Chains A and B, each alone.
Chain A
Amino acid sequence: MTVGLFIPCYVDQFYPNAAIATLQLLEKLGVNVVYPMNQTCCGQPMANSGFEHLTHGCNELFIKNFSEFDYIVAPSGSCVLHVREHLHDENQEAKAESTRHKVWELTSFLTDVLKVEHLEARFPHKVGVHQSCHGQRGLKLSQMSELVAPGFSKPGSLLNMVKDIELIPLNRVDECCGFGGTFCVAEEAVSAKMGKDRVADHVSHGAEYITGVDMSCLMHMEGILKRQGSDVKVLHIAEILNSTP
């Protein structure tokens, strides 16, 4: 099995450690991973702003970079959801479709494809889990509080394999952090307020770290934590799952 590693643009540029942890974790689990050097972005920033019609170049490039892999794995629920729902190419729609179906968010790839049941990892800290909306409600990585349905959590089941980790409870288990792509600047006031409220929930429950499947939400919350001078840190879930025992 060869996996194409898809690293979202802002992770590539600002959070290389999350990407390195993703790569190392997959390698540890015996997967052959290749990172296509010419990848850029999935096109979501344009599409969510109403400019999906400008994403053709990104789509074409994505297909070129990734269509030949058995699986495509990314440490992001949001970018994966975008590709799954919106990757099209009128000149090669069949190829676009098969690429769409091959793309996986990291934690669900671990639980559903690799069927990981054991991890050699230790993280002796209090950790708050942020449910990123696109991963949770879009990719259904975990059960949503609005629905009357049995609970489950793919990221949660993996974190429970980590030694000495303490997952803290939250008042609002799956409220949005307010990042929302360009929403974070277009609707600055509401976005920042949502971020502050989300962070406060974690902090008041004693979190030392906030983790999640999407670096974009974590980047937003990190920005607020730093502004507040807080010691609480954000870490992508891959970095915890890849921690040394």
Chain B
Amino acid sequence: MDEVKTKNSPNVPLQGAGGKDHAELAAEFNIDEKRVDWHDETLWWIRQKRDKNVHQLPEWELLRETASQIKFNVLSNLSSYLEQFEKNAIANGVVVHWAKDAAEHNQIVHGLLQKHGVSKMVKSKSMLTEECHLNEYLAEHGIEVIDSDLGERIVQLAKEPPSHIVLPCIHKKKEEIGDLFHMYLGTPSNVADPQFLTEAARQHLREIFLTRKAALTGVNFAVAETGEFVVCTNEGNADMGAHLAEVHIASMGMEKIIPKREHLGVFLRLLTRSATGQPITTYSSHFKKPRAGKEMHIVIVDNGRSTQLGREDFRNSLKCIRCGACMNTCPVYRRSGGHSYHTAVAGPIGSILSPNLDMKKYADLPFASTLCGSCSNVCPVKIDIHDQLYKWRQVLVKEGYVATGKKISMQVMAKTLASPALYHLAGKAGRLTLKFAPFAVNNKLNPWYKNREMPEPPKQSFGEWYKQNRQS
């Protein structure tokens, strides 16, 4: 891992997306304020739908607690549940593969496609394959992947990564989608009617479903006691792909296990209410065994998950069921857009998962938060997201992924604030020159002032007033 190679690097961390960090990418996103308003309102509308829906269930908080406890049990006994799942899946006639990282996952999938002479594959939504960069890998090996989830297909046509784990093209306006479809699917120009565009996509995808020999899906839940797995979609695209293909490959993160089928009664109620404010996904499809003469494969992927499992403070981030509720509620995500996080899983949850994969690359993400805590409150499995953001900040600074200037100014500030004499001196000077403000540390050009006035300096501090009015 990069972590070892770059440990204690004294330099500013180098971020992704052209070397720009979250703050820079967010600043670019904010150039068009009207668009930020639109993005914010769109996601807030989903948060409100979620609120409306969950407030109909008096047992909502109990459901969250139950789900959290089930996942706690899973994480505490992960290896035995995985072995149980593998044993049952094999007994069902499924081939189980284990991948220690993204590269191994991609090789396994490629190997299966090669074995069957497949050069075109259809894929339903899988954030794991985004995490592994499977599409790019297969393209390099001459295999074409068509994403069949409508939102994913749209960003694929736009040659962009998804900006949201549940709503991949939430950053695109319907007019922009109309333009993309006009360019790639031959729809008339300037048509932005969602129903018309969806129908066009259906017709286009139908042909893909009918002609692809291999289909890849993700896995929402893998049931240890039965060896089956459940895939949740609203469009039925996973079913269309998997049922028509000769080979069905399911890529699953190793934390996707639930012990029993009955636990679906908890998780399926939580998942879509949290995600989009629907009572349940349109399709919750159970896959247990291949049809006669066909093949079903499951690739169980670690890719840093066992490392995260070993980090006590961050372990329960693996409870995540990828509902995206933390993104919809996050006031920062809504105003910076998913791409500003330069990682497959954006938003608050991505900001606690990504540093585990690469501390240097993602050192900026735990700081892309006000620690407001709304994410932890909507999380259906009660991950303490904002507390983990705080803890990642401590880890990243200790490991050296911090700018030298910031480090020095923090040391100066710590020294000043630890000494009443220095503090009073700095305060006096500060109120005269407006230079001292603990919140505005390390700012060469004073970014505060760009959009905000500084507080008006009072004649005396409270301390000075107290001395005059209560001690004399």
List A residues at the B interface (Cβ < 8 Å): 7, 9-17, 19-20, 23, 35, 37-41, 43, 45-58, 60-61, 133-134, 137-138, 144-149, 172, 174-176, 178-197, 216, 219-220, 222-224, 226-227
In Å, the complex CA distance between A31 and B299 comes to: 66
Please determine whether B336 and A190 come into contact, CB atoms closer than 8 angstroms.
yes
Please determine whether A192 and B377 come into contact, CB atoms closer than 8 angstroms.
no
Please determine whether A182 and B374 come into contact, CB atoms closer than 8 angstroms.
no
B443 contacts the other chain (CB 8 A): yes
For chain B residues 83-136, which have a beta carbon within 8 Å of chain A?
none
Closest to B460 in A: A16
Please determine whether A149 and B453 come into contact, CB atoms closer than 8 angstroms.
no
Assess A11 versus B462: contact at CB under 8 Å? Given A45-B438, A193-B30, A216-B439: yes
Please determine whether B466 and A35 come into contact, CB atoms closer than 8 angstroms.
yes
Among the listed B60, B371, B436, B460, which residue makes an inter-chain contact with A133, where contact means beta carbons less than 8 Å apart?
A: B371
Please determine whether B61 and A133 come into contact, CB atoms closer than 8 angstroms.
no
Please determine whether B414 and A58 come into contact, CB atoms closer than 8 angstroms.
yes
Closest to B60 in A: A148
Contact with A along B406-433 (1 / 0, CB 8 A): 1100110111111110010001001100
Assess A9 versus B423: contact at CB under 8 Å? Given A16-B465, A184-B448, A188-B23: yes
Please determine whether B22 and A50 come into contact, CB atoms closer than 8 angstroms.
no
Please determine whether B414 and A186 come into contact, CB atoms closer than 8 angstroms.
no
Assess A187 versus B23: contact at CB under 8 Å? Given A41-B417, A193-B30: yes
B205 contacts the other chain (CB 8 A): no
Q: Which range contains the number of B residues in contact with the other chain?
A: 35 or more
In Å, the complex CA distance between A137 and B373 comes to: 6
A146 partner residues in chain B, CB cutoff 8 A? 51, 329, 374, 377-378
Contact with A along B359-393 (1 / 0, CB 8 A): 00000000111111110111000000000001001
Please determine whether A223 and B454 come into contact, CB atoms closer than 8 angstroms.
yes
Please determine whether B374 and A19 come into contact, CB atoms closer than 8 angstroms.
no
Central interface residue in A13, A183, A222, by most chain B CB within 10 Å: A13
Among the listed B23, B60, B439, which residue makes an inter-chain contact with A189, where contact means beta carbons less than 8 Å apart?
A: B23
B378 partner residues in chain A, CB cutoff 8 A? 146
In Å, the complex CA distance between A117 and B393 comes to: 42
Q: How far is the CB of A205 from chain B (nearest CB, A)?
A: 17
Assess A46 versus B465: contact at CB under 8 Å? Given A57-B417, A137-B373, A188-B451: no
Assess A222 versus B23: contact at CB under 8 Å? Given A146-B329, A180-B370, A190-B335: no
For chain B residues 29-87, which have a beta carbon within 8 Å of chain A?
29-30, 33, 36, 40, 44, 51, 54-55, 57-58, 60-61
Assess A183 versus B450: contact at CB under 8 Å? Given A20-B462, A61-B420, A146-B377: no
Among the listed B58, B367, B453, which residue makes an inter-chain contact with A186, where contact means beta carbons less than 8 Å apart?
A: B367
Please determine whether B452 and A40 come into contact, CB atoms closer than 8 angstroms.
no
Q: How far is the CB of A128 from chain B (nearest CB, A)?
A: 17
Among the listed B332, B443, B452, which residue makes an inter-chain contact with A190, where contact means beta carbons less than 8 Å apart?
A: B332
Please determine whether B55 and A148 come into contact, CB atoms closer than 8 angstroms.
yes
In Å, the complex CA distance between A20 and B468 comes to: 12
Please determine whether B448 and A195 come into contact, CB atoms closer than 8 angstroms.
no
For chain B residues 251-292, which have a beta carbon within 8 Å of chain A?
none
Q: Which 5 A-B pairs have the closest CB atoms?
A: A57-B418, A223-B452, A180-B370, A50-B397, A50-B393
